[in-house]
Amino acid sequence: MDEKIKFELEFPIHASPQLLYQYLSTPSGLSEWFADNVNSRGELFTFIWDDSEEQAKLLTKKSGERIKFKWLNDEDEDNSIFFELRIQVDEITKDVSIMVTDFAEEDEMEEAKMLWDNQISDLKQVLGSA
């Protein structure tokens, strides 16, 4: 298995952190932009796209700030491979950004970044901040 490399992306977004958090942390919010459908049972989230289904474990969340998941199909047993969505607010300008932390194999890095670009673009449309 190739080594997965951590990457971070920043997406400026025009929305309040409280509203944004609802779209990042709840099954109904996530199903509006991240997957076709999302279900959760406690800390187990099921993400459904057309004909595929992935399960992720909720590792941590902090209200209004961040949420971190680990895909259960990942061979990595510890929690060093995850994806995190963090809301960052600039102290001075009050500009809001979503910080995405994810991992991809080197030859899949550009594809992974493009996928996040598309996902966040969908989120901006849902929020009306595109």
Instruction: State how far the Cα of 2 lies from the Cα of 92, in Å rounded to an integer.
Output: 41
Mean pLDDT over the full length of the chain: 92
CATH at residue 41: 3.30.530.20
Give the DSSP letter of residue 75. S
At 94 the pLDDT is: 93
Structure-model confidence comparison of residues 78 and 40, the more confident one: 40
Q: What is the pTM of this model?
A: 0.91
How many domains does the chain contain in total? 1
Nearest CA-CA partner of 58 in 70, 49, 66: 70
Query: CB-side exposure of 91: number of CA atoms within 13 Å?
Result: 0
Which residue matches tokens 């030859």? 107
State the Rg of the chain over Cα.
14
Give 21-60 pLDDT, tens digit per residue: 999 999 999 999 999 999 999 999 999 999 899 999 999 9
Residues of the domain holding 67? 4-127
